[in-house]
Chain A
């Protein structure tokens, strides 16, 4: 499976993503934000970081960068687009995903392990995933997902909520919500479920010496579903 990771000025999880993708067998290449086009890919990843410093709303300048048109075309033609953390913020700014990511409820940056519940498996990311609850890792200041009532209803009606923050046993409530996100939302799909944006970083959880290994399941599952 061929993948492309887009590097924006200020991206800082691009190498981590490259390492993770290659570890599980993706043929990955790095693409510079000023490039006109993206090489032939089966998956495009927008990595975490602080694109353009995030000095305006997070992700907003990146959403106007040169490469983004190709990303949008690719998504509209059904290609898989994955945005992690800052990548998720960029996807909401482009309009490929609904809603916005506000500052965390307690106004602090949070770096911590979290559990997320996989809410939908009828898609190319989570289909046949063995687990329902994954232990992943978050590191963000603006991960507090918010959208209008109408948008939320539509997300729920179309099963577009991908993952939600929960406890180790899958319970979702205020105490298992690290950043105040509406309905504990940690990640969402677009309508066709080919575009996924999520705050947690699977690429930081890929071997047992790190904070955990559940990120491995995520990457392997994408590959398995592609075959």
Chain B
């Protein structure tokens, strides 16, 4: 086929990009070369719209061993232990084929982690669906959950936490973000930078098939009516092979045979080989006839673009080939020497003894286009003036039940019961808490992780929203007694070629950066997913934050369930009663305008450190951060989980009980304090000068507040626990 501008456009390249390629090469590329350019220059691989802004992120910290730019980020957790982690999107494929899309999302992120020498120890996911009323939602949810479970359960890595939301803006573009944490000895981390000349390049894992061709380009385009036709671009997962690959790679990594290793993810062999060579400032020569293929007569074009799963590329020390092959034979995996490193600084492809492509590597990596796209600032919306007389017709207890059964608040047990969350025998906090917690095997340490996003806040005011999600992640980790260490982010946005969407991206990133700097909560890895748009309708901006923290003595971990009758309950942090953008405003007043709650980073940090101090000194026995749905929602969850009630005090100087109980002000925690610790707790709260309210006492089997609320826990539990199950069964 002759390569023309039209062919280039078919490959997702822009007209100007094609001319630039011809100019750089000083000739027209052949079809295989064009495919390589299109794979490397698409948004998904090149970060061409986002790179300029991502550079500003806060990525350094005392405990950061590896920041963004590798397969995953790495943090130091002491005693030579390090945690490798990253979150990644698999949005487009999951909408087209939910089971395989979600499954391979999980497979891909786990490979990113074990590529670095780490054994995966926990999975998390953040999944977002269209309105529950939308005809596709139920099946997409079912498929995605089955896909995530099908892959993670088979590999034997526990899924310890997650987040699920529903919003009509995802009707045509669901989001599936998967995160993995792995444990590695910090002196045995593997990187993707090739080094040394004439070193063998090894292909291991599954055979290459025709699945997933153009996957990365598909992820860099918006959807239209013909979306079903894209099914062949979705990869098919084989968790069993991945399990074997995991064990084989870790076995080979136990000695010093590997120079560099890179998994074949988006854009498969193309991206992995070019990245290794580019980082090592080397050339690479691949003989494509040696690539193990699943199907007959595959062309170089197809081999280079295939996104078949469960494959790795390794640059090996010379002479270690036999040793390595033995390990992969034992695990019944394909092993082939397919090339070598060279000093040409080019990628050269040989097929049937003929050279079929030759491109200088720097044209593909450093010379990839970078765009400074125009963007529009979002103004902070006017704060609403609620007519408080209107509230009076609403009974507090009815409001509470309605909020607890809201699709975004209700219990997600139906989902996480389908994920193996206890395999590996170290899960000490299961899904459903503020964060999942796993012990670092054989030590007293435990690692906490949580995933958070707030699309409504980010949509209303991206800058505030960006700060809020980082703060929320910080709070969730502190709520389980963990010191927050670092984050990974998955930036899900609409079309960057639209000023509004681009503006949302830029300002969310700014917010994330500001908060992570202030809270000393650096970003160590991440991924950008643009073009989440169908027929011109984009998603609400949904950056997802995956936070990781450390509990140095796992016996001090906190959970949210109320423990003992008679204990006192405080709200730490000040409640002003911010109702704009709250669930209360949305569900009960049908009001969607107004700004999100203000984020005061000084308070986040100071109050966070206060709570952490209390937990380290064993002065509090349960803890839960106050977020969506406000104080009363948070209290209800603590009651339901602990199967205990609370008698709420008559609160003095309360301006408005609706604002107080349902306001979504930030930087607040609810804690349970044994009477014996009370004086010490008060001293510490005074020392940090934090505001707190004496909210009530753990008591009986109901939530009671004056004459306004008297709700048995069982009734609350019914409202909270069954929405999703009923929805899925209906």
Chain A residues close to B by CB (< 8 Å): 9-10, 12-13, 15-16, 19-20, 48-50, 52-55, 108-112, 137, 139, 141, 201, 203-204, 206, 209-211
Contacts and interface: CB of A to CB of B under 8 A. Distances in A.
B243 A10 contact: yes
Contacts of B430: 211
Interface in B221-268: 238-241, 243-244
B418 interface: yes
Contacts of A12: 154-156, 243, 423
A178 B420 CA distance: 15
Contacts of A139: 153, 420, 422-423
A50 B155 CA distance: 8
Contact of B240 (A13, A55, A110, A210): A55
Interface of B: 146, 149-150, 153-156, 238-241, 243-244, 331-332, 416-428, 430, 439, 554-555, 557
A110 B417 contact: yes
A141 B243 CA distance: 18
A65 to B, nearest CB: 12
A227 B557 CA distance: 38
Given A9-B244, A9-B332, A53-B240, A210 B422 contact: yes
A137 B156 contact: no
B243 A204 contact: no
B423 A13 contact: yes
A148 B428 CA distance: 40
A211 B155 contact: no
Nearest to A108: B418
A50 B149 CA distance: 13
Nearest to B156: A12
Given A50-B239, A209-B555, A10 B154 contact: yes
Given A9-B240, A111-B419, A111-B422, 17 more contacts: A9-B243, A9-B331, A10-B154, A13-B156, A16-B423, A16-B425, A20-B425, A54-B240, A108-B146, A108-B418, A111-B416, A139-B153, A139-B420, A139-B422, A141-B153, A209-B554, A211-B427
19 contacts: A9-B243, A10-B154, A13-B156, A16-B423, A16-B425, A48-B423, A49-B156, A50-B153, A50-B240, A53-B239, A108-B418, A109-B149, A109-B420, A141-B153, A203-B425, A204-B422, A206-B425, A209-B557, A210-B426
Contacts of B155: 12
Contacts of A109: 146, 149-150, 153, 417-420
B154 to A, nearest CB: 5
B647 to A, nearest CB: 28
A211 B417 CA distance: 14
Contacts of B419: 109, 111
The 3 A-B residue pairs whose C-beta atoms are closest, nearest first, are: A12-B156, A53-B240, A16-B425
Nearest to B331: A9
Given A12-B156, A204-B425, A108 B240 contact: no
B342 to A, nearest CB: 36
Given A111-B417, A209-B428, A209-B439, A53 B423 contact: no
Given A10-B154, A12-B156, A49-B156, A111 B240 contact: no
A211 B422 contact: yes
Scoring A20, A201, A209 by chain B CB atoms within 10 A of each residue's CB, the highest score goes to A209
B555 A210 contact: no
Nearest to B418: A109
B417 A210 contact: no
Contact of A111 (B154, B421, B555): B421
Nearest to B145: A108
Given A9-B332, A108-B417, A19 B153 contact: no
A132 B483 CA distance: 42
A205 to B, nearest CB: 9
